[in-house]
Structures are given as structure tokens and as C-alpha cells.
Copies of this chain bind each other. A is one copy, B any other.
Amino acid sequence: MPSGKLQLPIALDAMGGDNAPSCVLHGASQALIRHPGSKFLIFGNRYILEPLLHAIPNLKAASEIVHTEAVIAGDDKPSIAVRRGRNSSMWLAIESVKEGRACAIVSAGNTGALMAMSKLILRTLPGISRPAIAALFPTLRGECVVLDLGANVESDAQDLLKFAIMGDGFARAVLGLSRPRIGLLNVGSEDLKGRDNVKEARQLIESSGLDLNFYGFIEGNDIAEGTVDVVVTDGFTGNVALKTAEGVARLIRTYLRDAFANSFSAKIGGLLASAALGTVRNKLDDRQRNGAMFLGLNGIAVKSHGGADAFGFCNAISVAVELVAHHINERITQEIKLSTPPPIPGTQLDAIEGEAD
């Protein structure tokens, strides 16, 4: 199936995110140009959405509004959102994927609530007990996938093996790689270094018999160096690494801005080099890589950054389109099956836990 030609519409939580619903709608309008023939189910308040849609004819023609007045706030606790949010745009949008009325859901709303609802409504794929959040990171060689970015604060070796399988699928779908190199984030590249779960995961991956292009241990600096295409780590470490990187990028941007504003010759130099600096700014533009996927769920859920603008939200929709077009979940399910030993009576297997969940 060529990407951009989806059989089902994409469900949009129109009310989630700092700039909702305007950026959601304008982002979808841009996505229609990029992926002609797409359709959207837009969940939100029709009295707010209809006047806006009126001004975006291409989207109006390709979408349907599903009315709801309830909205999950950015600071709602996930546990409360799950209990009280059953009429919210977020819940109903996810449910439309579960019910086969949409092929994916995209939301810029509350991450914790989106994850909790997605787990509850979509359930995990067979053999997976913990979903992961995956996203792209810029590198010297292009981009890499990093997961988990915070769906879990602890991960055992089995979880890390499954993150490797899920990251592999994501890199094939979104980066178009045929054999993504997979690295396990550690504090040293030697076999003996690091945490027990990471060392055990290395053995599990190496002995899994799966067709994974496994590189071995990597360190923090290898992420931006592009040593591998898929960086596997627990959600605590991944979240800290991603946010530390964002902080450093912002720090350097500030240094540069201040430096170029500091003297007359620097200002002139900055003007002459403005195209070059623009290229750097583009490469560091978070919006280009907007769209964190919740991997391991029985349905495709993509989280846009809460502060995304229309361009950023459009990119999150593109991630959903690629994941659907590349049948990421079929691929992951297949690999997980191959990696999971057949159940032995009396033995508790992850596969059973996952299915019974």
C-alpha cells in the first residue's frame, strides 16, 4: 500500500494541546496536501470546530466531526482522566481506532492520559506487557529512533528486548531502513559494564535468533553521533536523555543568538550567514520530528508535542500515516511471536501476561 492512501480515516483529538483546536485543523489541512486522499474523523466540540472548518475547505471536504463537549485538561491526572473522561474527545478518538472506524489516532493532549487511555482501550499487542514511547532524534548521519521515552520508569531485560523489536519496526516504517542497527544504551561499551537488566537484555537479544541487526552497547554520545538507528533504553533514562538533549540544543541556540547580537561585525556576519544559520535551525527544529508513537499497543496512537504548531501537528499525522502504511503492528506481532518461546505448562510467560491483560 503506498503511503498516503489509507483505507480508513485518521482520528484526531481536536481539543488536546496548547494550540487546539486551530493547529490541529490547520495541521490536518497541510497533511491532506502531503497525503492526498486521506480522511479524518475529528473529535471535539462542533460549535467550536464547524466555524473553523468552514475556513479550511480542503479539510472540510475530507473530514467528519464527532461531537463531544468533554475535554481532558493538560494537567489532569491520568487515573482521573481515565475514570471521568469517557466522553472526552481523546477517549472517543482512541475508541474509534479500537472499533475499526479509524486507522490511527493523533493527539497533542495530556501524554499520561493518552497513554493510560490507549492502554485501556486498545490493549497491548500479544506478547507485550509494556508499551513504549518512541520518537526520532537528529544525528550526524540523519535520524535515529529512541525508545522508551517515558512510558515506563523501570524496564527489565524482556521489556528491553521487546523495545528492540518495536524500535526495529518503527525505524523500518518511519526511516525506511531495511536493516536498522540497534544499540542498547549503557554506561560503557565493554561487556561487563552497566546495569544487570541491560547486560541481561544484551544476551537475550543476541540469543533471540531474530533477524535483528544488533550493534551491542552504546553510550550517550552515540545517540547524536548516529552510531545506531535504534536506541533502546528504559523510559527513565530515555526521558532524561531526550530532555537533556533538548536543553543543550536550547542552550547553544541562546549562546549563538547572544553572540551574533553582541557586536556590529557579528551582526553583519550573522546576516551574511543567515541562510547557513537557517539550515542549522531547520536541522534542530523539533517540529520536523514531531510525533511520538506509542508502540506495542493494538492500534496506532501518535502523540504530538503539546506546543506543536500546524506544521508540527502535520508531521505527527505523517508519522501515523507511515506507521499505518507500513503495517508496523503486524510486523511487531510477527517478530514477538518468533522471539517468544512456546508456553511451557506451569511457567509464567510474558506472552500469557500480555494476552490476558
Contacts and interface: CB of A to CB of B under 8 A. Distances in A.
A256 interface: yes
B252 A252 contact: yes
Given A138-B251, A194-B236, A280-B252, A243 B262 contact: no
A18 to B, nearest CB: 17
A269 B277 CA distance: 10
A347 interface: no
A116 to B, nearest CB: 13
Interface stretch (A159-167, A169-177, A215-223, A311-319): A215-223
A273 B241 CA distance: 32
B276 A273 contact: no
A240 interface: yes
A223 B239 CA distance: 13
Interface of A is mostly: helix
A255 B185 CA distance: 24
A187 interface: yes
A81 to B, nearest CB: 14
Given A270-B273, A272-B269, A276-B260, A224 B251 contact: yes
B236 A195 contact: yes
Interface string A261-276: 0110110111111111
Given A236-B237, A251-B224, A272 B268 contact: yes
Contacts of A283: 255
B249 A252 contact: yes
A284 B259 CA distance: 13
A248 interface: yes
B284 A252 contact: yes
B239 A220 contact: yes
A224 B236 contact: no
Interface string A209-253: 000000000011111110000000101110111111111111110
Contacts of A255: 279-280, 283-284
Interface in A118-152: 138-140, 150
A69 interface: no
A154 interface: yes
A277 B259 contact: yes
10 contacts: A220-B244, A221-B244, A221-B250, A237-B240, A256-B256, A256-B280, A268-B269, A269-B272, A269-B276, A272-B272
Given A153-B195, A221-B250, A259-B279, 14 more contacts: A185-B240, A194-B236, A219-B240, A220-B239, A220-B241, A224-B244, A241-B241, A249-B252, A252-B284, A259-B277, A265-B275, A269-B269, A272-B272, A273-B273
